[in-house]
Structure 1
Amino acid sequence: MAVTGSVRAGVIDVHAHWLPRELLSLPPGSPLGGMSDRDGELYLGDNPLFLATTAMTDIDVLVADTLKAGLGARAVSAPPFAFPVHVPSEADDYIKAYNDRLAEAVSSTDGILVGLGLTRVDNVDAAHREMTRLTAMGGVAGVAVPPLVQGQSYGEGVMREVLAAAADTGLAVLVHPMQLPRPEWKDHYLANLIGNLVETTTAVASLILSGAMEELPDLRICFVHGGGCAPSLVGRWEHGWHARADVRRGSARPPAEVFTRLYFDTITHDPEVLGLLAAHAARDRILCGSDYPFDMAQPDPVRFLLDNGLDTATLEANGRRFLGIESRA
């Protein structure tokens, strides 16, 4: 499956967020309650998110900010609070509503925005049905999913089958952490500053060491925030794979080799870490990311990459390949 219609030329930011106002209520079971606008500022429950509500909800504002950032296009997905993971069996209506509104919104932007929809990850039949529906939506390129759900990741069970469904339908997969709480991370925003990266790293390891990536050669999957801690750990995984039978039990290929098949965005906030990512990942698997419009976003994503050895032609080609974009405006 590929995105139909023209997508604006230039660097593509694959990691940005959008949620229409009518869906700020979030899917059933959200532990913090819904999102809301308070005097122009966006809140999650009673917690301020320190961003203007319109930056998340107004498609015209998002388009204007995309152009201001010097990007060709952006792939937009729901914020992780909107992932349907708490009571997924009751979330089908929310998922359908979001995906319908997403397709409608991106189709109005003259190729500036591409959509990454929602899907369940607890039921492969439901996931496959919704993914199949997404393939008929011209401006939607894939889905955004969490890295962990109730202690499970993509190495086994239903979540592994969901990735197979994505590969089968030709949809790209963006894996975005959910800032899961832990007692030791209750202060200093550590659930984000550490937790998000640990969630992503766990999913990368699960996908590589389980052999799931080897079974799905057509899967296009991207891990955000530079892959979390994974670039600094792939050497340790490689050593463990060669040293221990239990580490290599699920996979036939060494971790460093499989790592080069994964896509990663560039939100590292550190040129040295970006260099480490580039040393381990394949050059054609590195994607521009911003995390717009959150406070942890890379404010000038294109300049950050150009100043640190990446070029616009490669970044554009990589983004198009990941999203399955065939035509160019």
Structure 2
Amino acid sequence: MITRPLRPGVVDVHAHWLPRELFELPGTGPHAALHDRDGQLYLGDLPLSIATSAMSDVDAIEDDMRRADVGARVLSAPPFAFPLEPGTAADTYVGDFNRALAGVVADGGGALLGLGIVTLADAGAATSQMEELAQTEGIAGIAIPPVANGRSLDGPPMHHVLREAERLELAVLVHPMQLPRPEWASYYLTNLIGNPVESATAVASLILSGIKDSLPRLRICFVHGGGCAPGLLGRWNHGWTMRADVRSASSRPPREPFAELFFDTVTHDSRQLELLCALAGSDRVVCGSDYPFDMAEADPSRFAVEHGPGRAALIRAAMSYLGLPTG
């Protein structure tokens, strides 16, 4: 819950933070262990091109906010920290992260908000964790991956979490995981192609499954401008019109529920952002940075204001997404 006023300015809803004491990630998952090497972050032997301090130190985060003209920043776990496996270790990790995040945002003076994490393999644990987050000052919602147990947002684990998020009035941020595939092993294609595809798949599954229609009060945001989704929306609409299997679970053409979702501005291209604004509407586009990754938008506020819906609209959209008064 958020009862304290935010620091004035553009709100960056997509930024990452992980304390050093939690670098040892839960379970095995698709990624190797995170660790520091001479001040730089590595996933196993893969360099992330990120200074360790940028990910874990609040002073570095606030310095970047001042540089980037960001009023308030919403922090969430990096995508390789999502707890995908069941067990006590995952539950402990979730609790440790959420408590640490609550402490950081409580000391932020209205400049920092948080999105917690939940156990994705245990519905009962997820509900308990989300109920606690809903009562925690400075926590706006949860961040989740686009897939769990081989299923997208229409699978049982994710559907349960989305239902509970709507019930508890928690915002949801969907962040791709950069899952490996053999054909994407070179040229960083797991990110350049994989991330946009993961996001688009999640958008499509949410819409075509009818889940968004069944959860009209759900506030859900897809980062990286929704990935490929804006460019594919016309194709989805045509498929929905022409094929009974595509429209079997949904009552509206995809273009309509698409305009009820939120998307961030990390598109890396002004024309792509213009398309997103035209399809989603100016009241559904929020500023994002993807701090501190190398694929981040380096000047998020300027880019979003100049090529997006404008400063006032970005702030209103962020407040609406976070469940805060927009007046």
TM-score (norm 2): 0.97
For 2:192, the equivalent position in structure 1 comes to 193
SS of the residue aligned with 2:307? coil
Question: Counterpart of 1:41?
Answer: 40
Equivalence for 2:255: 256
Structure 1's unaligned 5+ residue stretches are none
Moved more, 157-166 or 186-195: 157-166
> 1:73-118: per-residue Cα shift (whole Å, max 9, x none)?
0100000110001446640000000000000011111011100000
Matching residue's letter, 1:112? A
Q: How far 1:264 moved relative to its partner?
A: 0.3
Does residue 205 of the first structure (1) align with residue 224 of the second (2)?
no
| Map of 1:305 onto structure 2 | 304
* Identical-pair percentage: 54
The one of the two structures with greater contact order (alpha-carbon pairs below 8 A, sep at least 6) is 1
Q: Does 1:4 align with 2:3?
A: yes
**In structure 2, how many angstroms separate the alpha carbons of the residues matched to 1:87 and 1:42?**
26
Aligned-residue Cα RMSD (Å) equals 1.4
Any idea what the Cα deviations from partners look like across 1:175-234, whole Å, max 9, x if unmatched?
000000000000000000000010010000000000000000110000000001000111
Single out whichever of 318-327 and 75-84 deviates more from structure 2: 318-327
Q: Give the Cα separation in 2 of the matches to 1:255 and 1:89.
A: 40
Q: Would you say the 8 A contact 1:122–1:159 is kept in 2?
A: no
Which structure 2 segments of 5+ residues have no match? none
Q: Would the aligned equivalents of 2:165 and 2:218 in 1 still touch at CA under 8 Å?
A: yes
In the TM superposition, residue 61 of structure 1 has moved relative to its aligned partner by 1.1
For 2:16 and 2:226, locate their aligned partners in 1 and report how far apart those are by CA, in whole Å.
18
Counterpart for residue 266 of structure 2: 267
Write the deviation string for residues 145-170 of structure 1: whole angstroms up to 9, x where unpaired: 00012320112423112100010111
Q: Do the aligned residues in 2 keep the contact of 1:4 with 1:326 (CA within 8 Å)?
A: no
1:307 aligned counterpart, secondary structure:
helix
Match for 2:169: what amino acid? G
Cα gap change, 1:31 to 1:239, in 2 (>3 Å): closer
Q: 3-state SS of the aligned residue for 1:174?
A: strand
**Do the aligned residues in 2 keep the contact of 1:4 with 1:327 (CA within 8 Å)?**
no
Match of 2:93 in 1: 94
Secondary structure of the corresponding residue to residue 173 of structure 2: strand
1:287 corresponds to which residue? 286
Equivalent residue, structure 1, for 2:125? 126
How far did residue 326 of structure 1 move? 4.3
For residues 237 and 82 of structure 1, the distance between their equivalents in structure 2, rounded to whole angstroms, comes to 32
Instruction: Give the deviation of 1:310 after TM superposition.
Output: 2.5
Q: Is the 8 A contact 1:88 1:120 kept in 2?
A: no
Partner in structure 1 of residue 233 of structure 2: 234
**Rounded Cα–Cα distance in structure 2 between residues aligned with 1:240 and 1:210:** 14
CA distance in 1, matches of 2:32, 2:238: 44
The whole-number CA distance in structure 1 between the counterparts of 2:128 and 2:308 is 42
Q: Which amino acid aligns with 1:231?
A: P
Change (3 A) 1:133 1:115: same
Deviations 1:220-250 (A, max 9, x none): 0000000010001111111111111111100
Instruction: After TM superposition, give the deviation of residue 307 of structure 1 in Å.
Output: 2.1
| TM-score, normalising length: structure 1 | 0.96
Q: Measure how far apart 1:126 and its partner are.
A: 1.3
